[in-house]
A and B are shown apart, each in its own frame.
Chain A
């Protein structure tokens, strides 16, 4: 048992940390892709902005510059997916529930939280790699402090629920932006371009090495989709995230002696992921499937809030 506000703060603290990391990895992917000799018209920075939900900052079909991305996704004080915004929100949520966190978790969030406050775009671009590394180190340290030292009580569960929901969301958003390159018919486009696009998806989720281990180096839209949606082993796949969500919902249900609507929603989703194979998903439409899953994840988040009064 805990204050409802505490549960809310922990849930969102984890969401913002997860999001900060996801955005940092997205920017990193954009930077890597911009360095590759690829077709310039495909402009990866554009999909980076779209996947980060910064649709307003994208002007029609025009190419998006790195400076624009850094300004919007790293330094912005009011874009809810920018790294700065997420780190500040994570800390603010943590500060409100300091008594629920371990000393090390708090120190990780508090150390250097004002790093991006006064940074200009050109300063940030000069050492972009360092800044992104810093964000990844912060999030990794936080995760380590959580796993290593936090009591396995309901606080731990709310923290993880927030993390998995955000992560599922990110994978789905990326799929939503890129779904067309994963459709089998795009194979006719063939050649370098698709290779390049597929690689960018895996890079954005830091899954390119894991993918190669799993699928022996062969890029294909089927396998990539399988990896991101149905892999039980890849920690950013939809199935893995929902597995985590169900685990923590089950723990809460046991802890509180009561099952809520949210458990049913998670079970149904997991059931779908367990019984469907890729063929069925493609047959009924990959895009439709992704949109459906995004909707379910939003609903699940609301249902968790309702069930635990926050």
Chain B
């Protein structure tokens, strides 16, 4: 927008439609959409902020659009990355070739908190550790897509991809009739297929699959129940499961029922108090042993989190070359590791231009956005970096692309990022779409929903 040549080509159809519809009507429709979201119950719990315990994520009605050509590139890049990350996980829990080859320093792996020694030598079905890889992508110019971070544990937000589309189709059917938008509603089927493909080899017939949730108080509970429903599998809480003779069982009205695959949306620390945190009230006693014995498949595998560690992120392009023998299609954002003397010196000298993140942090908590911070905030943060340099990385504040977004006074550009959800089973699958998150505050770069970001529908146009 604002370009003298007018909107970019993929957006032209939508631009015409916006003009015809008018901002007032669009704003009215947005209120309708929010009422629908509220009634259906698509809400998001934000921890420790008081106020509405079941808050809505703001929804922006203007879709973010990829042309078919753009999507081909993103899609190939994301699948490539997902395969490399899984190959990396298999490697480090087995021979560690990438360390022997001198590509990744040993201590970054073996002394990493996200590395689970208990997983060494375990053979997950299909050698898949991370079955759903969420890759956060930004764009800085017309050519390049950059990866901001990978999510290899239990990336959330895919329900918004599905519901945003659902709402858009309900409210603007005429727009879809005119545009050639690739459907995303096959995601639950594809996910179920991927999960079934990684059932334990000993499992004969249709595997029994369940989604393991911490329960209704988890912020993503809506998504858990929504996905379980669309896949037609049970939504279980830890109390519904028990382990007997190394096998996992669900408590049902007919008595115990054997379980083969668990799509777990519970962190490693909490899945099994016997193996991990003994103070966990959440876990299933003996689950990890059942997994190690090959009697049940956990998706994602315990210990998969090391692949999305921010200290490891820097090496993902090298992984692509090392394991796949290909050139990475998606680039990384330039990243400085505060652990290295030269990098740290640069970071401390240039704090006002950089975004600094904790290596193990997530969700936008505990980061410093240099240009937005006060002098004092930067000084305090610099002390934190000096005290524990290994714990920090820094990236330039990117000139992120913006996407037209509806505000009270009309359309204006807001920064966006994009998360597609790559499925890995026997095949690698990617539904044409994903979650576009948008920073609703003008000039803001933080798109996390816990920090006041919103969401948009994402369109991939067919040729």
Contact = CB atoms under 8 A, between A and B. Distances in A.
A pairs with B:
yes
Interface of A: 1-7, 92, 95-96, 98-99, 103, 106-107, 110-111, 154, 158, 256, 308-310
A95 B235 CA distance: 12
B225 A99 contact: yes
A106 B252 contact: no
Contact of B229 (A6, A7, A98, A308): A98
A98 B240 contact: no
16 contacts: A1-B252, A2-B253, A3-B234, A3-B250, A3-B251, A4-B252, A7-B253, A96-B216, A98-B225, A99-B225, A99-B235, A107-B39, A110-B41, A308-B253, A309-B251, A309-B252
Contacts of A158: 253
A158 B254 CA distance: 13
A291 B428 CA distance: 65
Nearest to A310: B253
Nearest to B35: A111
Contacts of A99: 225, 228-229, 234-235
A96 B229 CA distance: 12
A4 B253 contact: yes
Which among B221, B251, B252 has the highest number of chain A CB atoms within 10 Å? Answer: B252
B237 interface: yes
The secondary structure that dominates the A interface is helix
Which among B41, B235, B250, B255 has the highest number of chain A CB atoms within 10 Å? Answer: B41
Contacts of B254: 1, 256
Nearest to B254: A1
Given A5-B237, A309-B255, A106 B228 contact: no
A284 B297 CA distance: 62
B40 A1 contact: no
Contacts of B216: 92, 95-96
B236 interface: yes
A2 B252 contact: yes
B201 interface: no
B366 interface: no
B257 A1 contact: yes
B239 A5 contact: yes
A98 B222 CA distance: 9
Interface in B269-319: none
Given A103-B40, A106-B40, 15 more contacts: A1-B253, A2-B253, A3-B252, A3-B253, A4-B251, A4-B252, A4-B253, A7-B253, A92-B216, A99-B234, A99-B235, A106-B41, A110-B40, A158-B253, A310-B253
Given A4-B240, A111-B39, A256 B253 contact: yes
Contacts of B255: 309
A194 B75 CA distance: 79
A308 B39 CA distance: 32
A195 B225 CA distance: 53
A309 B249 CA distance: 14
A225 to B, nearest CB: 37
A3 B240 contact: yes
B225 A309 contact: no
A45 B277 CA distance: 54
Which among B221, B234, B253 has the highest number of chain A CB atoms within 10 Å? Answer: B253
B159 to A, nearest CB: 12
A306 to B, nearest CB: 11
Interface string B254-271: 110100000000000000
Contacts of B226: 98
A110 B251 contact: no
Contact of B251 (A5, A106, A107, A256): A5
Contacts of A92: 216
Contacts of A1: 252-254, 257
Contacts of A154: 253
Interface in B211-252: 215-216, 221, 225-226, 228-229, 234-237, 239-240, 250-252
B233 to A, nearest CB: 9
Given A308-B253, A309-B252, A310-B253, A5 B240 contact: yes
A124 B399 CA distance: 54
A110 B229 CA distance: 18
Contacts of A106: 40-41
B92 to A, nearest CB: 36
A106 B239 CA distance: 24
Contacts of B215: 96
Contact of A107 (B40, B221, B240): B40
Contacts of A310: 253
Interface string B27-41: 000000000000111
Contacts of A103: 40
A236 to B, nearest CB: 28
A224 to B, nearest CB: 39
Contacts of B225: 98-99
B39 to A, nearest CB: 5
B21 to A, nearest CB: 27
Nearest to B232: A99
A31 B40 CA distance: 35
Contacts of B236: 3
